């Protein structure tokens, strides 16, 4: 936006106030210099005095309805430039509301042409000329679809995850989106919950690292950059702890668990400079998250000094009424804004009721003004006043970016977890005589995109069948049979699939979940393969032909029978646009798998919730009868957190801990030697775990405290070192105080949460 045009926007504020207008114009001129100043750092510095003056000038000229407009997020009604989602009459109504300054932000508005059309009305047709903020769910890609976030977390590579978020931001920004409702940083220990696909798994440390990486990718170092968007950490807070794994459900947990498990990824996002936070649908210990002042104000702003803005989830303000926490929409609006929710997403409670609640004294002018300041400050920080419009030329250039597709392939390959490889069946030779490719997902172009694929869902994902055909020898006969539907229970062609499998040298069997089985409001009580897919697996297995099962899914599946009987098992998740190429590269050894599980895989749904950092209990599992275990299945998971195989073998040795007797203010240095014993180069994720053996509050059996992703050539060895302040060994005591208690700690450095080198150290009080 030209600076002269920007100054015109601000000069609109001076209508009918000549002297005051000259002062406003001078503030606006200063603001131009502020907006073009160097980038804000991750730890956002205090606002310049000129920005504060600018905000106060705007507030001073705004009517109460215009202020409430800035706190109102509405449905924008268009998926792309050619697909209107609202009637013409509704479009005219939206245009009128924009002109009147009664809408400050939109979701569901896509495409440079359409968003520019709406933006022009706001900037040039409204009294104050305040630009609109366009937000959308850019969860794992925009035009280019990357693996689902749960899969991305299995890379244990914050660098790759940050790069994917940056690519998604560039594509979204070019299409008019300036704000993404991501990252989702909810910790999830229950795979029944459909939204487990959108997060980074079960561990607060890994989740925190990935949260910060995605914030950096979306926002970057320069908030004014033309390829960045404002991030929004969601869903604040403990949404992933919903009872029964059922979406939107009640959450009842201790404040200590809240602080140690569910809050850390949000704090990491705040420390990374996230510009906004989304309140959750759930209640927390009887108080809905969208009206929870403890979480939204005491912790978020009081303890963490967050100075961005908070937006509700879709209609979650209005849902305070069915929660039984508010007796009317008006009361719901008051409770939410008083708790710390600045912007209302689509419930219309703020726009409809806060004026009356302000006039009768229920909500003070100062509360409204502070919420508006936060929203306007965020619009200033991202350069929205300076650059309100999207560039159609850039949008067109990024609709099919080859560089982004290559990044999607790299990330997809790194997300794959090799769970079993009996007899080194993998990698396959490319010159097999006959290869059978079987299964409902083997030639599927849609479902591998996964949940929340958004704009990019319309493009065809590369299929496993397509990629395999491109990689095998011209002499190899590739025979494909679907075998059964993905989730149907009607007559299948399992018999035909078995017949084809019986004549092959090897079988690649691709099974899993439809994309519609995960995501919001898509929860399951059965974690087995849907439909008759297990019958297909069993039928193929009976042929005795070497079989590789490839799983494509949005959550951990209970595949105990498959894991026991088939020689090779590959967890591929929903990998996005490059799914087939990534799987084929792993199957044929072009890429050595290195993914590690970010979430535990249970044997069956009866073990859920199951997670590695559990408590020991007074009767830990053993062979003795009266201990904490099951009668009908082992208590251990099918595959543990942090687990993943490679086509090579890594040996761990020479654990070193310094100092062995540490003071409270010491820095621990822990290291081990890792050597590649095999004949292939590969990545290994080296993991550091601790246990506080005796404490005033019982501690988990293990807690992840660090990890390193390293590359080793065959025969190469390296020493991996972790530096950890003793302060990080603490916990929240019975008074909700973070403390480190003196005593003995166990230490592990290893390849997963079960195996590794074990040592010990003592922390003493000086």
Q: Distance of CA 241 to CAs 192, 263, 336, 459, 703, Å?
A: 11, 12, 22, 34, 19
Taken in order 255, 257, 262, 263, the sign of the CA dihedral is: positive
CA atoms of 164 and 456, how far apart (whole Å):
14
Ramachandran bin of 743, using left for φ above 0, alpha for ψ from -120 to 50, beta for the remaining angles? left
Q: What angle do CA 460, 463, 469 make, to 5 degrees?
A: 130
Scored b (16 or more CB within 10 A) or e, 127-153 reads: ebbbbbbbbbbbbbbbbbbbbbbbbbb
For residues 303 and 319, give the distance between their C-alpha atoms in angstroms, rounded to a whole number: 27
Contact call for residues 176 and 112 (beta carbons, < 8 A):
yes
Report the run of H or E that residue 167 belongs to, with start and end: helix 158-174
Closest CA to 81 of 469, 412, 399: 399
d(CA 149, CA 155) in angstroms, rounded, equals 10
Beta bridge partners of 517: none
- State yes or no: is 222 an active-site residue: no
Task: Give residues with Cβ within 8 angstroms of 663, minimum separation 6.
Answer: 726, 763, 764, 765, 766
Convert 374-386 into a string of H (helix), E (strand) and C (coil): HHHHHHHHCCCCC
Per the DSSP assignment, residues forming a β-bridge with 653 are 673
> Whole-angstrom Cα distance, residue 738 to residue 295?
17
Given a contact cutoff of 8 angstroms between Cβ atoms, the answer to whether 150 and 177 are in contact is no
Residue 660, CA distances (Å) to 25, 707, 759 in order: 64, 21, 10
- Give me the sheet containing 717-725, strands edge to edge: 650-658, 667-676, 717-725
SS (H, E, C) 528-565: CCCCCHHHHHHHHHCCCCCEEEEEECCCCCCCHHHHHH
Evaluate whether 27 touches 50 at the Cβ level (below 8 Å): yes
Helix or strand or coil: residue 83?
Answer: coil
CA distances from 52 to 28, 58, 87, 132, 373 (A): 11, 10, 40, 20, 9
CA angle 633, 243, 268 (to 5 degrees): 100
Task: Please list the residues that pair with 393 across neighbouring strands.
Answer: none
Residue 22 class from Cβ within 10 Å (0-12 exposed, 13-18 middle, 19+ buried)?
exposed
Which one of 186, 313, 344, 444 is the catalytic residue?
A: 313
SS3 371: helix
How far is residue 554's CA from residue 198's CA, in Å, rounded to a whole number? Answer: 9
Q: How far apart (Å, rounded) are the C-alpha atoms in residues 531 and 486?
A: 7
The partner residues of 764 in beta bridges, in order of sequence, read: 663
Residue 526 burial class via C-beta count within 10 angstroms: exposed 0-12, middle 13-18, buried 19 and up: exposed
Rounded alpha-carbon distances, angstroms, from residue 392 to 115, 132, 331, 397, 399: 11, 18, 43, 9, 11
Residues 598, 158: Cα–Cα separation, whole Å: 13
Token pair in block for residue 570: 């590959």
Report the C-alpha gap between 602 and 559 in whole angstroms. 8
Q: Please state the separation of Cα 668 from the chain's center in Å.
A: 31
Q: How many residues does the chain have?
A: 766
Separation CA 288–CA 317 (nearest Å): 9
Residue positions annotated with a catalytic role: 313
């Amino acid at each position: 936006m030209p600076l002269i045009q920007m100054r015109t926007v601000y000069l609109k504020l001076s209508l009918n106030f000549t002297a005051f207008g000259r002062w406003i114009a001078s503030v606006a001129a200063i603001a131009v210099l502020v907006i073009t100043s160097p980038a804000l750092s991750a730890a956002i510095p205090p606002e310049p005095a000129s920005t504060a003056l600018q905000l106060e000038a705007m507030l001073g000229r705004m009517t109460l309805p215009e202020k409430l407009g800035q706190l109102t997020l509405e449905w924008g009604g268009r998926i792309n430039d050619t697909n209107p989602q609202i009637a013409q009459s509704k479009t005219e109504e939206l245009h009128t509301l924009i002109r009147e300054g009664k809408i400050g932000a939109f979701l569901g508005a896509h495409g440079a042409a359409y968003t520019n059309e709406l933006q022009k009305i706001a900037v040039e047709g409204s009294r104050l000329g305040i630009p609109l903020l366009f937000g959308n769910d850019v969860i794992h890609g925009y035009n280019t679809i990357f693996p689902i976030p749960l899969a991305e977390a299995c890379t244990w590579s914050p660098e790759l995850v940050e790069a994917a978020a940056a690519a998604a931001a560039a594509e979204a920004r070019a299409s008019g989106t300036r704000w993404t409702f991501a990252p989702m940083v909810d910790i999830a220990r229950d795979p029944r919950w459909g939204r487990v696909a959108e997060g980074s798994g079960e561990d607060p440390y890994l989740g925190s690292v990935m949260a910060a990486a995605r914030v950096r990718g979306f926002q970057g170092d320069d908030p004014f950059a033309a390829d960045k968007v404002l991030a929004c950490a969601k869903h604040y807070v403990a949404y992933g702890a919903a009872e029964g794994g059922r979406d939107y459900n009640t959450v009842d947990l201790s404040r200590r668990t809240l602080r140690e498990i569910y809050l850390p990824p949000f704090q990491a996002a705040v420390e990374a400079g996230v510009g906004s936070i989304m309140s959750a649908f759930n209640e927390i210990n009887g108080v809905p998250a969208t009206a929870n002042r403890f979480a939204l104000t005491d912790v978020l702003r009081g303890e963490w000094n967050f100075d961005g803005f908070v937006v509700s989830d879709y209609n979650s303000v209005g849902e305070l009424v069915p929660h039984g926490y508010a007796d009317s929409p008006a009361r719901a609006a008051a409770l939410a804004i008083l708790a710390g929710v600045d912007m209302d997403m689509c419930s219309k409670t703020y726009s409809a009721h806060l004026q009356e609640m302000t006039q009768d004294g229920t909500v003070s002018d100062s509360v409204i003004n502070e919420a508006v300041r936060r929203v306007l400050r965020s619009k200033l920080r991202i350069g929205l006043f300076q650059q309100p419009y999207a560039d159609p030329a850039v949008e067109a250039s990024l609709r099919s970016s080859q560089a982004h597709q290559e990044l999607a392939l790299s990330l997809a390959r790194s997300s794959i977890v090799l769970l079993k490889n009996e007899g080194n069946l993998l990698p396959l030779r490319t010159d097999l005589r006959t290869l059978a490719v079987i299964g409902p997902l083997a030639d599927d172009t849609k479902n591998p995109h996964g949940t929340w694929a958004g704009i990019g869902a319309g493009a065809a994902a590369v299929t496993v069948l397509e990629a395999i055909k491109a990689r095998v020898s011209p002499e190899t006969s590739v025979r494909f049979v679907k075998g059964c539907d993905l989730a149907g229970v009607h007559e299948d062609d399992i018999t035909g699939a078995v017949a084809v499998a019986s004549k092959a040298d090897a079988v690649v069997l691709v099974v899993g979940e439809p994309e519609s089985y995960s995501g919001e409001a898509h929860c399951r009580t059965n974690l087995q393969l849907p439909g008759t897919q297990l019958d297909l697996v069993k039928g193929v297995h009976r042929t005795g032909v070497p079989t590789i099962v490839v799983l494509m899914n949005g959550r951990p599946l209970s595949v105990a029978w498959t894991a026991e009987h088939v020689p090779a098992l590959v967890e591929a998740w929903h990998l996005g646009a490059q799914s087939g190429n990534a799987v084929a590269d792993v199957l044929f050894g072009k890429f050595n798998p290195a993914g590690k599980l970010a979430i535990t895989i249970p044997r069956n749904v009866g073990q859920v919730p199951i997670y590695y950092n559990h408590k020991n209990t007074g009767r830990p599992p053993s062979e003795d009868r009266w201990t904490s275990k099951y009668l009908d299945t082992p208590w251990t998971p099918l595959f543990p957190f942090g687990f993943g195989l490679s086509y090579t073998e890594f040996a761990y040795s020479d654990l070193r801990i310094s100092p062995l007797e540490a003071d409270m203010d010491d820095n621990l240095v822990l290291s081990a030697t890792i050597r590649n014993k095999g004949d292939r180069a590969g990545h290994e994720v080296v993991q550091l775990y601790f246990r506080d053996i005796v404490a005033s509050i019982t501690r988990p059996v293990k807690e992840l405290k660090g990890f390193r992703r390293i590359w080793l050539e065959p025969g190469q060895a390296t020493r991996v070192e972790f530096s950890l302040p003793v302060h990080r060994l603490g916990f929240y005591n019975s008074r909700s105080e973070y403390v480190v208690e003196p005593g003995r700690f166990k230490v592990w450095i290893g390849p997963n949460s079960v195996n590794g080198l074990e040592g010990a150290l003592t922390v003493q009080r000086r």
